[in-house]
Amino acid sequence: MHAGASSSYLRNLQWAQPNGPISPKTLPLNPYVSFRVSAVAAPPPQLKFQRTHSMPPEKVEIFKSLEGWASKSVLPLLKPVDQCWQPQDFLPDPAKTREEFFDQVRQLRDRTVEIPDEYFVVLVGDMITEDALPTYQTMINTLDGVKDETGASSSPWAQWTRAWTAEENRHGDLLRTYLYLTGRVDMTMIERTVQYLIGAGMDPGTENSPYLGFVYTSFQERATFVSHGNTARMAKESGDPVLARICGTIASDEKRHENAYSKIVEKLLEVDPNNAMLAIADMMRKKITMPAHLMYDGRDPMIFEHFSAVAQRLGVYTADDYADILEFLIGRWRLEKMVGLSAEAQRAQNYVCGLAPRIRKLQERADDRARKMEPQSVKFSWIFNKEVLL
């Protein structure tokens, strides 16, 4: 967390926690975490100052006029349901005989026995993030001009959002069932965290603007592609090839979704380059907030920061990844090469194109400071209060 972020964090807690505000004194003093996660977990936005409907109403027409394009260029990036994998493809098969089914469960437990607790902390955090899917569909349906006006609208934007949600829905389902069968995690605490999180929502700072919204989702889908790819690699190293395949399969969905959202931003850069560039800079200035930033398990008011710190230490999702994603998108959208922008959009371009090295430098300094501190560990309710190093 950045200096000055703690007060907004406290405001969020007031909002997120059913038991009301917690005093700063009750917050665990953990400078190690605040340095480690500075660029990974952006400080939660100040929910008091949520801006709404910042896109001028006439811009809605742009999205209306892009409907034909969206049908042709975005909807084909969805996969037909009968060609999609389903969670059951990776799980013990209850239609088998009792003995065969129990054998498959036993094998699953044998495969996961060597996986370290710290890995489970990260996988559980990822699963909880996936499971708060109602929040993400809500978020996309706050975007003017692309929201699903009826719940079953035939607009290609709405079709995309519903089918995207349906694809995403398999991610949390599969991870949750797999985690349940391992016996390594406290399902009640996980389920409680999911309930708190969906109740708390999220505030990505997208202001009902599809310009901001699609920049956010481009970034976020790539972030999940990176982190699921890393949990896949680590599952393989820990001796569970099935879990590796699960995380890898989810990662490839995220990649396809990233492709769709960044294609939309690419199109916006083509039809409305100044506003699209300003939107990218705006989102980067605010920092891309992680979708689960309001996470709470009823016990640890800093559980999101603690989970993020473990993800950073294990290399599942790091400040470097954040800078890599930014650089990747700059290249994908050819932002450096854009010409003919307004003066304001040129300033935005300079800011965005110079940001990744600055993030890396800040993180290097933060890492140096963190190295000089005593390593700290924290108890995670998700793994029966076992301690994990941050």
Is there binding between residue 176 and Fe ion (CB under 5 A)? no
Residue type, 31: P
Give which of 227, 383, 206, 247 is closest to 318, Cα–Cα: 227
Q: Which position among 118, 203, 254, 321 is part of the footprint of Fe ion (CB under 5 A)?
A: 254
d(CA 1, CA 9) in angstroms, rounded, equals 9
Nearer to Fe ion, 172 or 210 (CB): 172
Residue 222 in contact with Fe ion, rule: CB under 5 A: no
101 CB-near residues (< 8 Å, 6+ apart): 92, 93, 94
Helices 98-112 and 241-271: crossing angle in degrees, nearest 10, is 70
Q: Give dist(CA 224, CA 112) in Å, integer.
A: 22
> Which residues, 6+ apart, have CB-to-CB distance to 71 below 8 Å?
156
**x/- string (CB under 5 A) for Fe ion, residues 42-81?**
----------------------------------------
Q: State the binding string over 322-361 for Fe ion (x if CB under 5 A, else -).
A: ----------------------------------------
Active-site residue numbers? 85, 130, 168, 171, 221, 224, 253-254, 257
Stretch that binds Fe ion, among 28-36, 65-73, 222-230, 262-270 (CB under 5 A): 222-230
Q: Under DSSP, is residue 387 helix (H, G, I), strand (E, B) or coil?
A: strand
Residue 173 lies near Fe ion (rule: CB under 5 A): no
Q: Which of 131, 168, 203, 282 binds Fe ion (CB under 5 A)?
A: 168
Residue whose CB is less far from Fe ion, 221 or 240: 221
Structure tokens at 286: 């605010």
> Which of 170, 171, 222, 293 touches Fe ion (CB under 5 A)?
171
- Residue at token pair 């992680």: 290
- Between 240 and 254, whose beta carbon lies closer to Fe ion? 254
Known binding residues: 130, 168, 171, 221, 254, 257
Stretch that binds Fe ion, among 14-22, 96-104, 247-255, 371-379 (CB under 5 A): 247-255
Stretch of residues binding Fe ion (CB under 5 A), selected from 105-113, 123-131, 367-375, 382-390 = 123-131
Which part of the chain contacts Fe ion (CB under 5 A), choosing from 18-26, 138-146, 214-222, 323-331? 214-222
Q: Which is nearer to Fe ion, 14 or 177 (CB)?
A: 177
d(CA 333, CA 277): 10
**CB-CB contact of 178 with 370 (8 Å):** no
The DSSP annotation for 52-83 comes to ---S-GGGHHHHHHTHHHHHHHTGGGS--GGG
Rounded distance, CA 110 to CA 120, Å?
15
Residue nearest to Fe ion as judged by C-beta position = 171
Q: Which residues contribute to the site for Fe ion (CB under 5 A)?
A: 130, 168, 171, 221, 224, 254, 257
